[in-house]
C-alpha cells in the first residue's frame, strides 16, 4: 500500500515533468524534468548543511572492523584537520592535496578537511606504482600526500623520481608501525590546542575547483579533470529529482545503508556514494579490501538497502554461490554504472535475488561529475537503457561531422549541463579536442536516443579499455612497452574477458635481432603499472597498422586477430 505522503510527492514531482517533446526542432534532446536550482555554496558547506538533523547517526563504518565515526565526530575531526592543514602545513586556497587511500571510514574526514582548508582534492589509486604516482603528483602540483603506512614507500619513491619533497600524512587503521618522516592523521584530527581562527581566512567560491581526479578522457594519458564546487553540487541536486532519486530521507526511524565497495578515488564513488549520500545523512559502509565472501557478508550484515555497482559486480552477484535470497534480501535499490550492462545480465541477477528490486542503470563520465542520465523509478521495459538526461542536462547525438541526428540513430553523445567540468588542468589542446566551439562536451561514446528521450549506450568511440570498471588507456601501456629495449613499436586493444569485462591485449613489433619474449615483457609491464592494467596476452607482428597521420588502426588489429 502506498502511503499518502508518497502519493503526494509523486503527484508533486509529476507536475515538474515538461509537457512538450524532449526533442527540439534542431534535434537537441532536453531533460524531461524541471531544471534544478543550484545552491551558491562550496561543496563543504553543502555536505554539512543538514548536520543538525543527524549528528548521532553513523557517517562511515568499516565493514570488516566496525571502526567508524558519527556525523558529529566526522565534522569535528575534519574541522580540526582543516585547521592543522592551514597551520602546520601552510595549505592555502587552491593548493592541491593528494589522497592515496583505499575505502576506509577516514576517507570522508580527509576530503572534508581538505575542502574546509581551502584545498583541492586529487585522488590517487592506492594500488598505483611509483611510476604512476609520480606522474600524478607532478601534473597535479600536489603539496601534501595523505596515505596509509603500507604505501609510504611508494610515495617516497615517487617523490624521489619526481625530485620533489612532499609532507606525508599517514592514517593508521589497525595499529600499524608509524613510518619515519611522516605525520599521523590522528594527531592532526585530535589536536585540541590548534587555533581554528585560520579557517576564517579561507575564501573559496562555487566556481572554484575543488576536486581533481585524473581521467584519460576520450584518448591518451590521464589528464586532471577540474571539477568545481558548483559542478559537484549541481550533480547532487540533479539526482535528487523525485522521479529518479535513489535514496530515502533520513529520519528518526530510518537511515539508508550504502555499501561503499566502488573505489572512493573514482568519481562514481566519490560523488554519488560519498558527497551526495553524506549530504543526505546515509550510513557509508566502507570495504577496504574486496573479497566475494566479505562482500556478501557486508551486504547482509549491515542490511544494505542501497547498492551501487559496476558490471563486474553484477556478474558476480548473478553467479557466486554466496549470492542468495538471504544475503540479498535487504537490497531495495540497485544502480549499475561505469560501463554498459546488458538486460540479460540484469535478469540473471533478478533470478538469484528472487525479489522486487528497483534496478537502475546510469551513464556518466569523470568529466561530468559523473551522472548524465539515469533510468527513472520503476522502469522495467528496457534494462539496456540508461534513461533520459537528468535535470538541467541537454544531449545531442551527432554524426562524424558533428551534425545533429534524430531519434534512434546512433552517433557520438554530446552533453551540456552544469555538471560538465571546467576543463583539463593545464591542457588547452585536450580542451579544444573535447569542447565544441559553442561549449558542448564530446563524450567520445556512441549512443542513440528514442522518441521519448531515453538514452542507450551503443559503443565507445574512445579507445579506453574498461577492466572491471577501471579505465585503462592503451596509450599508457603502449608507452611502457615502447620503453623496453627490444620493442620497436606496440599497440594495445581491449578484448572481451569473462570476468573482467575487457582485458588488454598487446601487439608487439620487435627491433631487429630480438626474439619473442612475452614473459619478459609481461614482467616488465607488471613492475610499472597497477594490477588491473597488466597484460597477459601478447601477439608479435611484423608491423603495427597505422593511418597516414600515424594513428594506430586498432580496428584493423581487432579484425585481423580477434574475430
What is the dihedral sign for C-alpha 161, 162, 164, 166?
negative
DSSP assignment of 417-454, as one string? STTS-SEETT-HHHHHHHB-TTS-EEEEEEEEE-TT--
| CA–CA–CA angle 306, 311, 314 (5° rounding) | 60
- Residue 413 CB partners (closer than 8 Å, separation 6+): 372, 395, 396, 397, 443, 445, 446, 447, 455, 457
- Beta-bridge mates of residue 396: 414
CATH of the domain at 545: 3.30.300.30
What is the dihedral sign for C-alpha 73, 75, 78, 79?
negative
* Residue 545 covered by a domain: yes
* Residue 41 covered by a domain: no
Q: How many domains does the chain have?
A: 1
The tally of CA atoms less than 13 A away on the side-chain side of residue 300 is 16
pLDDT in tens, the chain (563 residues): 334 443 344 444 444 455 457 999 999 999 999 999 999 999 999 999 999 999 999 999 999 999 999 999 999 999 999 999 999 999 999 999 999 999 999 999 999 999 999 999 999 999 999 999 999 999 999 999 999 999 999 999 999 999 999 999 999 988 778 888 999 999 999 999 999 999 999 999 999 999 999 987 656 678 999 999 999 999 999 999 999 999 999 999 999 999 999 999 999 999 999 999 999 999 999 999 999 999 999 999 999 999 999 887 888 898 889 999 999 999 999 999 877 776 777 888 888 888 889 999 999 999 999 999 999 997 766 778 999 999 999 999 999 899 999 999 999 999 999 999 999 999 999 999 999 999 999 999 989 999 999 999 887 777 788 898 887 888 889 989 988 999 989 999 999 998 888 999 999 999 999 988 899 999 999 999 999 999 999 999 999 998 665 678 888 898 888 76
Whole domain around residue 519: which residue ranges? 465-561
The predicted model scores a pTM of 0.86
Q: Are 517 and 113 within 8 A, CB to CB?
A: no
CA distance 123 to 133: 10
Q: Which residue has the cell 545552491?
A: 39
Residues 384-396: b if buried by 16+ CB within 10 A, e if exposed? bbbbbbbbbbbbb
* Residue 535 covered by a domain: yes
* Residue 498 covered by a domain: yes
Q: Are 447 and 462 within 8 A, CB to CB?
A: no
* Residue 499 covered by a domain: yes
* Residue 307 covered by a domain: no
* Residue 508 covered by a domain: yes
* Residue 204 covered by a domain: no
DSSP assignment of 359-407, as one string? EEEEEE-GGGSSEEEEPPTT--S-TT--BSBPTT-EEEEE-TT--B--T
Q: Are 69 and 293 within 8 A, CB to CB?
A: no
Amino acid at each position: 500500500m502506498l502511503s499518502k505522503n508518497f502519493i503526494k510527492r509523486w503527484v508533486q514531482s509529476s507536475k515538474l515533468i515538461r509537457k512538450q517533446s524532449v526533442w527540439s526542432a534542431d534535434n537537441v534532446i532536453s531533460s524531461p524534468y524541471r531544471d534544478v536550482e543550484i545552491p551558491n555554496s562550496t561543496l563543504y558547506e553543502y555536505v554539512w548543511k543538514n548536520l543538525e538533523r543527524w549528528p548521532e547517526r553513523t557517517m562511515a563504518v568499516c565493514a570488516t572492523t566496525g571502526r567508524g565515526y558519527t556525523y558529529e565526530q566526522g565534522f569535528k575531526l575534519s574541522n580540526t584537520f582543516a585547521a592543522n592543514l592551514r597551520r602546520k602545513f601552510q595549505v592555502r586556497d587552491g593548493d592541491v592535496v593528494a589522497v592515496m587511500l583505499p575505502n576506509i571510514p577516514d576517507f570522508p574526514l580527509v576530503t572534508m578537511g581538505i575542502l574546509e582548508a581551502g584545498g583541492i582534492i586529487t585522488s590517487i589509486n592506492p594500488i598505483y606504482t611509483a611510476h604512476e604516482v609520480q606522474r600524478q603528483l607532478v601534473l597535479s602540483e600536489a603539496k601534501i600526500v595523505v596515505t596509509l603506512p603500507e604505501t609510504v614507500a611508494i610515495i617516497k619513491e615517487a617523490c624521489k623520481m619526481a625530485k620533489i619533497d612532499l609532507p606525508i600524512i599517514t592514517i593508521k587503521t589497525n595499529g600499524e608501525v608509524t613510518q619515519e618522516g611522516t605525520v599521523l592523521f590522528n594527531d592532526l584530527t585530535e589536536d585540541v590546542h590548534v587555533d581554528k581562527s585560520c579557517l576564517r581566512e579561507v575564501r573559496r567560491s562555487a566556481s572554484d575547483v575543488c576536486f581533481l581526479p585524473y581521467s584519460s578522457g576520450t584518448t591518451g594519458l590521464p589528464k586532471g579533470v577540474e571539477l568545481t564546487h558548483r559542478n559537484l553540487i549541481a550533480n547532487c541536486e540533479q539526482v535528487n529529482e523525485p522521479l529518479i532519486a535513489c535514496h530515502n530521507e533520513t529520519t528518526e526511524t530510518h537511515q539508508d545503508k550504502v555499501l561503499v565497495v566502488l573505489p572512493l578515488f573514482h568519481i562514481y564513488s566519490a560523488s554519488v556514494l560519498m558527497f551526495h549520500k553524506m549530504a543526505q545523512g546515509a550510513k557509508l559502509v566502507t570495504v577496504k579490501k574486496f573479497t566475494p565472501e566479505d562482500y556478501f557478508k557486508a551486504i547482509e550484515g549491515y542490511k544494505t538497502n542501497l547498492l551501487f555497482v559496476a558490471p563486474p559486480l553484477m556478474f558476480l552477484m548473478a553467479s557466486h554461490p554466496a549470492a542468495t535470497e538471504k544475503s540479498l534480501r535487504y537490497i531495495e535499490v540497485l544502480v549499475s554504472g561505469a560501463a554498459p550492462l546488458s538486460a540479460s545480465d540484469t535478469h540473471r541477477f533478478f533470478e538469484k535475488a528472487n525479489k522486487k528490486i528497483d534496478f537502475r542503470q546510469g551513464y556518466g563520465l569523470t568529466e561530468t561529475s559523473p551522472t548524465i542520465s539515469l533510468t527513472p523509478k520503476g522502469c522495467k521495459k528496457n534494462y539496456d537503457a540508461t534513461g533520459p538526461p537528468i535535470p538541467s542536462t541537454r544531449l545531442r547525438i551527432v554524426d562524424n561531422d558533428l551534425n545533429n541526428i534524430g531519434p534512434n540513430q546512433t552517433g557520438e553523445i554530446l552533453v551540456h549541463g552544469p555538471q560538465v567540468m571546467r576543463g583539463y588542468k593545464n591542457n588547452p589542446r585536450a580542451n579544444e579536442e573535447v569542447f565544441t566551439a559553442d561549449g558542448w562536451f564530446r563524450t567520445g561514446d556512441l549512443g542513440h536516443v528514442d522518441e521519448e528521450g531515453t538514452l542507450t549506450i551503443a559503443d565507445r568511440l574512445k579507445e579506453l579499455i574498461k577492466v572491471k570498471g577501471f579505465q585503462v588507456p592503451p596509450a599508457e601501456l603502449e608507452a611502457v612497452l615502447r620503453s623496453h629495449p627490444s620493442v620497436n613499436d606496440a599497440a594495445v586493444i581491449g578484448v572481451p574477458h569473462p570476468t573482467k569485462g575487457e582485458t588488454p591485449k598487446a601487439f608487439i613489433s620487435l627491433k631487429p635481432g630480438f626474439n619473442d619474449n612475452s614473459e619478459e615483457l609481461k614482467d616488465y609491464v607488471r613492475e610499472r603499472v597497477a594490477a588491473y592494467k597488466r597484460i597477459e596476452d601478447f601477439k608479435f607482428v611484423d608491423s603495427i597498422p597505422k593511418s597516414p597521420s600515424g594513428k594506430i588502426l586498432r580496428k584493423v588489429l581487432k579484425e585481423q586477430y580477434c574475430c
